[in-house]
Structure 1
């Protein structure tokens, strides 16, 4: 039997690449316009880039295994890659928010509040917000930029990563139909 790279090792390598890519993109966007970090389109573009890259890496891994892969290894590969990329991204964000620019979370909180109010105005619901509700939104948004807040977010992200890995595993897997009788 051929010696294949394990899903863990392949996921680790892909996750390292994706994590570093995420940190680099985040820092580039930060240097261009920090407010972009809380815009909806930025998150959407990053999601598309990550999905595309993970599918590409997964198909490359499948090809290295002879062109076929069951769902289990495809899921494991995807989950490990997302886990590693998420950890690296969290470390990069913590570095950015706590060391490089400690004032950035305040700017991002205000920008995210402005974005939320603008969206509510489009739906005609902004008039119903009291100043207490806006202050509560501000406090909740501020807590997301602390180390504890980022840790909680990462914990929740593990469930999201598992769900995304289910989807990616289904996309990446390929059954050898020649084995069917």
Structure 2
């Protein structure tokens, strides 16, 4: 009888794959137009692709387990895969922002502030009412997210988001063997 993999072992390869795919998409977007990284559409596409890949790999793991998986197993698998993917992504982003293109945080901060102002305007707010100091604070706060400390802090906060996403994915991926019901 073949021994089944633990959720941790089963999540390593999918986590590596998802992390590398995420990193490849980030670098492709950077080479096409670096301001794409500050686009809401880019983030949305990345999240959808992320969910699709986790569900795909989760279903493969569930099939390896005989077609059934408890919520706990599905949660553990998803959470570990997401953490591994996140670690790969943060390492790649640190390389991008601090080694490959140290001026990129400024470009992305400017693009993010511009996107925010456009969103404010679309909701009827007048961005011209904002003072120069407020705009500078927004730009600096956004730029701080791309520093080494900011990226590590965001990853720490991201762990909470990862857990919530893993809970959702665990609910999607679980499948109970109803033949065991009496």
Q: Given that residues 121 and 127 in structure 1 are in contact (C-alpha distance below 8 angstroms), is that contact kept between their aligned partners in structure 2? A: no
Task: Compute the displacement of 1:107 (Å).
Answer: 0.7
Q: How does 1:4-15 map to 2 (within 5 A)?
A: 4-15=4-15
Moved over 4 A (4+): none
Q: How does 1:98-109 map to 2 (within 5 A)?
A: 98-109=98-109
TM-score by length of 1: 0.98
The equivalent of 2:154 in structure 1 is 153
Measure, in 2, the Cα distance between the counterparts of 1:23 and 1:165.
Answer: 20
The equivalent of 1:78 in structure 2 is 78
Gaps spanning 5+ residues in structure 1: where?
Answer: none
TM-score by length of 2: 0.97
Q: Deviations over 1:117-162 (max 9, x none)?
A: 1111112222331111101101101100100000010001000000
Gaps spanning 5+ residues in structure 2: where?
Answer: none
For these two proteins, the number of residue pairs brought into alignment is 181
Measure, in 2, the Cα distance between the counterparts of 1:28 and 1:16.
Answer: 18
User: What is the aligned-residue RMSD (CA, Å)?
Assistant: 0.9
Deviation larger for 48-57 or 114-123: 114-123
The equivalent of 1:140 in structure 2 is 141
Measure, in 2, the Cα distance between the counterparts of 1:128 and 1:64.
Answer: 59
